[in-house]
Structure 1
Amino acid sequence: MNIKKKIIELLPYSEPFLFVDELEEVTENGISGTYTFKKDAYFYRGHFKDNPVTPGVILTECMAQIGVVCLGIFLLKDRDLGNFGVALSNATVDYYLPVLPGEKVKVVSEKEYFRFNKLKCKVQMFNAEEKLVCRGEISGMIKAE
């Protein structure tokens, strides 16, 4: 099976909280992938009356799922990941542009370090026009059994 599809299958998320559509590139040093925010997603109801935008916490979650969790699964590919846990340990993100319902974004992550199952990455999100939406540092722990 294709390693990119296998990584997505191993993610501990499902709809409506899965924010990974496709992984484009995966290496020991980084990852990139895309997600299109569904126009009818639950979080748009009430997140600004008559002018819905994607909440920053959801943008951060998308960046963490693609940029940290997917990369972590790849880095642990030689271990048995039948039952593993994920915990976000830190996120510092700056936001520059809104993401509207139906928009496709690309997440690009660069590994800063991976030791003792803690992964820290510099993560950026771009819109379809390749404009920077947000960027920051996100770290998390992956507990493999």
Structure 2
Amino acid sequence: MKTSEIIALLPYQRPFLFVDDIVSVTENNIVGHYTFKDDEFFYEGHFKNNPITPGVILTECMAQIGLVCLGIYLTKNELMKAEKLQIALTSHQMDFYLPVLPGEKVHVHSEKEVFRFNKLKCNVKMLNEDGELVARGLISGMLKV
């Protein structure tokens, strides 16, 4: 499965799509990136005259790349038959270290911890362009094909 096919199967669209590209994907990990545009809808009010990307949006970006894209790859054989994937985020624990400003590109790295009974749990981290750790944590979700 090509990375462009994975992105096309995502159940999101702009302005709530936070995946630009997938750099690599295997059965055990995925790496992708996203650039936060200057005109993203959430910058207008977060914060006045000093916009930064909300933590919930950073978590969403890590979930879209690190959980959903990897889940699509792991269920590709079933997906080709069903052509529909339902995702439910079941839990997450995140630690944040650096802000992400408008115009910044981030890289998400995710490693599968377990995929059993359609539940996927991944260790994720987000790095900025300088390779500095922005955030890291654990994300779990249920996949239904």
Q: Which SS does the other structure have where 2:61 is aligned?
A: helix
**Counterparts of residues 58-97 of structure 1 (less than 5 Å):** 58-79=57-78, 80-97=81-98
Q: Could you tell me which residue of structure 1 aligns to residue 43 of structure 2?
A: 44
How many Å separate the matches in 2 of 1:52 and 1:10?
Answer: 31
Q: Could you tell me which residue of structure 2 aligns to residue 130 of structure 1?
A: 131
Q: Assess, with a 3 A threshold, how the Cα gap between structure 1 residues 143 and 123 changes in structure 2: closer, same or farther.
A: same
Q: Could you tell me which residue of structure 2 aligns to residue 32 of structure 1?
A: 31
Deviation at 1:124, TM superposition (A): 0.2
Deviation at 1:112, TM superposition (A): 0.1
Deviation at 1:81, TM superposition (A): 4.2
Q: Assess, with a 3 A threshold, how the Cα gap between structure 1 residues 81 and 47 changes in structure 2: closer, same or farther.
A: farther
Q: Which SS does the other structure have where 2:4 is aligned?
A: helix
2:120 is equivalent to residue 113 of structure 1: no
TM-score w.r.t. the length of structure 2 is 0.97
Q: Deviations over 1:61-95 (max 9, x none)?
A: 00000000000000001112412211000010000
How many Å separate the matches in 2 of 1:7 and 1:128?
Answer: 24
Q: Deviations over 1:93-120 (max 9, x none)?
A: 0000000001000000000000111000
Deviation at 1:44, TM superposition (A): 0.3
Q: Could you tell me which residue of structure 2 aligns to residue 4 of structure 1?
A: 3
Q: How many matched pairs?
A: 143
Q: Runs of 4 or more off by more than 4 Å in structure 1?
A: none
2:134 is equivalent to residue 140 of structure 1: no
TM-score w.r.t. the length of structure 1 is 0.97
2:72 is equivalent to residue 104 of structure 1: no
**RMSD of aligned C-alpha atoms?**
0.8
Q: Which SS does the other structure have where 1:78 is aligned?
A: helix
